[in-house]
């Protein structure tokens, strides 16, 4: 059966067909009482469709104007954009549900070793007031105040390999020698940088100079704001009568009286003095470590 335009052209799959370009189908308009009540019908009928014009009922069984269909036991509303609601961490905008919103109930996201949870695109922090995210004994996320970044302990160290008792002829690359004249304390204000007897260095973040025998100045690429302490030790890198340092060998030439000590220390430069077994200034390999912030 067909009503409307082209009454003789009927879709073979339809039992009843409507066709028109200026008129629509007006469904029965009824006043429902609640989603669980069949009224104003005499019984629940699966597949029954109506347009409800009433606002009635309370709570989960309340009804509001709109299309409803019956599943045989209750009325179910055909949702429109205005009917879509989101809560508990979700937000609805023009029928789009997006993540973000206020939680209104304790919420658990369960992960497994296979189904993990990750957040991509987290940006590094440069603020000293940011907080860290932690998990308590019950798995609840919390924030905690952490030490400011500029309070973090910083380590800078290295090893300086030099010719034995020789402050010239070093083969150190010029890129590791201090660039330009520099000051060491108020009594050494115009020191000329030299590779001296330095052959090689280990470690990064500093440049070095061997201006005279037994004197080594180490300039930090990034100055410290505060230095906690420093350690320095002689390294025996010689064997037999060989005067060239060799980091690959176990040294056996230096005596226990060969020594190293700190001659000056500031936030930007460190002076190390090395000496022979008699206590006189003399080039010796050494290792150092500076801690601070």
Q: Kindly report, residue by residue over 179-214, the tens digit of the pLDDT.
A: 999 999 999 999 999 999 999 999 999 999 999 999
CA angle 243, 249, 253 (to 5 degrees): 45
User: pTM of this prediction?
Assistant: 0.52
Q: What is the pLDDT of residues 229-283, one digit of tens each?
A: 999 999 999 998 899 999 999 999 999 999 999 999 999 999 999 999 999 999 9
What residues contact 289, with CB distance under 8 A and at least 6 apart? Answer: 155, 156, 157, 230, 231, 232
Q: What is the pLDDT of residues 69-126, one digit of tens each?
A: 999 999 999 987 777 778 898 888 877 888 888 999 999 989 999 999 888 998 887 7
CA distance 262 to 279: 14
Q: What is the pLDDT of residues 127-172, one digit of tens each?
A: 777 888 888 888 888 888 765 555 568 999 999 999 999 999 999 9
CA angle 195, 199, 204 (to 5 degrees): 80
Q: What is the DSSP letter of 136?
A: -
Is the Cβ–Cβ distance between 287 and 161 less than 8 Å?
no
First to last CA, the chain: 88
CA distance 202 to 200: 7
Residue 151 three-state SS = helix
> How crowded is the C-beta side of 115, counted as CA atoms within 13 Å?
4
Residue appearing with tokens 């907080």: 131
């Amino acid at each position: 059966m067909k009503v409307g335009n082209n009454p003789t052209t009927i879709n073979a799959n339809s039992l009843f067909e409507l066709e028109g370009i200026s008129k629509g189908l007006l469904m029965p308009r009824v006043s429902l009482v609640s989603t669980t009540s069949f009224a104003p019908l005499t019984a629940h009928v699966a597949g029954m469709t109506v347009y409800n014009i009433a606002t009635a009922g309370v709570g989960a069984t309340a009804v509001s104007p709109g299309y409803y269909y019956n599943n045989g036991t209750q009325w179910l509303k055909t949702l429109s954009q205005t009917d879509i609601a989101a809560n508990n961490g979700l937000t609805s905008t023009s029928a789009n549900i997006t993540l973000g919103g206020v939680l209104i109930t304790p919420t658990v996201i369960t992960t497994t070793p296979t189904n993990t949870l990750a957040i991509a695109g987290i940006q590094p922090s440069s603020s000293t007031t940011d907080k860290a995210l932690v998990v308590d004994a019950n798995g609840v996320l919390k924030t905690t105040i952490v030490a400011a970044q500029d309070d973090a302990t910083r380590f800078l160290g290295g090893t300086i390999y030099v010719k034995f008792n020789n402050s010239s002829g070093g083969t150190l690359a010029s890129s590791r020698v201090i660039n330009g004249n520099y000051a060491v304390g108020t009594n050494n204000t115009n020191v000329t940088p030299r590779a001296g007897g330095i052959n090689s260095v280990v470690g990064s973040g500093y440049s070095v100079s061997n201006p005279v025998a037994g004197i080594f100045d180490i300039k930090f690429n990034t100055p410290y704001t505060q230095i906690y302490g420093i350690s320095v030790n002689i390294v025996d890198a010689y064997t037999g009568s060989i005067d060239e340092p060799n980091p690959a060998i176990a040294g056996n030439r230096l005596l226990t009286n060969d020594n190293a000590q700190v001659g000056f220390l500031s936030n930007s430069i460190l002076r190390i003095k090395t000496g022979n077994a008699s206590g006189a200034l003399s080039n010796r390999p050494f290792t150092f470590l500076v801690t601070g912030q």
